[in-house]
Amino acid sequence: MIPSPVLVVTAVPAEADALRPLLDPALVVVEAVGVGPAAAAAGTARLLARRDHRAVISVGIAGGFPGRADVGGTVLTTRTIAADLGAESPDGFLPIEELGFGGSVLEADPVLIAALRAALPQAVAGDVLTLSTVTGTAETTARLAARFPRAVAEAMEGYGVAIAAAGAAVPFAELRTISNPIGPRDRGAWRLADAFAALRAAAPALQRLP
């Protein structure tokens, strides 16, 4: 009996198009669901409702924390964190846990992460932050790095994908390749070609997941 496929969710079509030609659609289904946690959650939930999948992987390009993840490298999430889900206060940011309204942290499936780490030994594992607003200043970079000492990257969809996966009781993981260091916004310094090359190089690992 053929197992149900892995669902790979990307934000934009360019990420999905980079992966599809390298993957057997009977084993891995790749879909772009939109940018941001809300679009990611809604799109992933819709796809999971239509068909059984044995795992969900959030995949795409991300910014890397300097000194923790190199541009052109690959990162794997151990935890996905909604880093801006909470409230401001005179004493600083209050995560949603301190407000008593739920949680901002979801663990990646350890079996999936172990398989990805075995297939991608050069990948860096750590927390991946989900933000609705991409970091663009040195001040915000320093604040996030201090709040999340295990964070290796930030993106905009992982937590949304993870919420949908949790709701459907499907194992979740996140894989990102790094196009730029997190910090002051400088599109001219982004190395998208390197990030897409790393994304394509990681594709075979997605096809060998348990």
109-134 pLDDT, tens digit per residue, is 999 999 999 999 999 999 999 999 99
Q: Which residue has the tokens 């780490």?
A: 117
The pLDDT value given to residue 192 = 95
pLDDT of residue 187: 80
Query: What is the separation of C-alpha 86 from the centre of its chain, rounded to a whole number of angstroms?
Result: 20
pLDDT attached to residue 1: 62
Per-residue pLDDT, 79: 98
CB proximity list for 127: less than 8 A, separation 6 or greater? 77, 78, 79, 80, 81, 148, 150, 151, 152
Kindly state the average pLDDT of the residues 163-170. Answer: 98
Amino acid at 79: R
Q: Is the pLDDT of residue 205 over 90?
A: yes
Q: What is the assigned CATH class of domain 6-207?
A: alpha beta
Residue boundaries of the structural domains of the chain:
6-207
Token look-up 């910014």 returns 63
Residue 153's pLDDT band, with cuts at 50, 70 and 90, is very high
Q: Running DSSP on this structure, what letter comes out for residue 115?
A: H
pLDDT level of residue 91 (50, 70, 90 thresholds): confident
